[in-house]
Structure 1
Amino acid sequence: MSANTSKKVGNSGGKLSRAGMGRPKGAVNKATAEVRSLAQEHGPDAIEVLVYLMHKAQSERSRIAAATELLDRAYGKSVAAVDHTSGGKPLPTAPAGVLVVPAGMSVEDWEKLAAQGGGSHG
């Protein structure tokens, strides 16, 4: 290879690509950037529509969907619940003053059980 020739690396769709050539990984192409810019111009109007739908839509499903979209954009999507156990064993007890009610048991039933000495207050 001569000093003026770049080293060919990789295989992009059947074509060899030169190291350091092309758009950097993660960079948005020009068309995507233009579309994003145009869409952002309508952002305030879109939020106004979501607020309107949240308050005035006839269907409850539509009102909930609009409210969810607004909350997701304001605070991020909610995180999925995860069952934290250690090999099937429960996690250590909750800190003092924290009431932990087993799933499927009402607070009233738990309090009755605890009053009989069968529950743990942490």
Structure 2
Amino acid sequence: MKQNTPGYRLGLQTRRFMDWFSVQENKLQQRGVPDWLVKIPRYLLIAAVIGLLLIGAFYLALFLTLMVFIAWCFSVFGRKNTSINSPDEPLNGYHSSGPEGPGFYYEDSRIDD
């Protein structure tokens, strides 16, 4: 059975690239290039992969923080005004949760239509 999943294909391409990279390292070592100089591209590749993973984790954390902040804003600014029945603010207009039930109010008293 042939494996054809995206993860398998990505792993296969990675393995092929690392095999090619090892062959290139061996060729450079056979030409007399010092070992420390041959390993620099490998370390740069590892640093690039780790950097991409860290950037992805940072953006994920930033996105989750933004979603939590938006949810907090919705919960704070979406609350109903709890001071409807306070004496400082008389009821005027239509209120679905007035003291005498839903309806139109003027100066804290319900207007019957």
Common fold: TM-score over 0.5: no
- Give the structure with the higher percent helix: 2
Q: Highest relative contact order (Cα 8 Å, sep 6+), 1 or 2?
A: 1
Q: With structure 2 as the length reference, what TM-score do the two structures score? A: 0.23
Q: With structure 1 as the length reference, what TM-score do the two structures score? A: 0.22
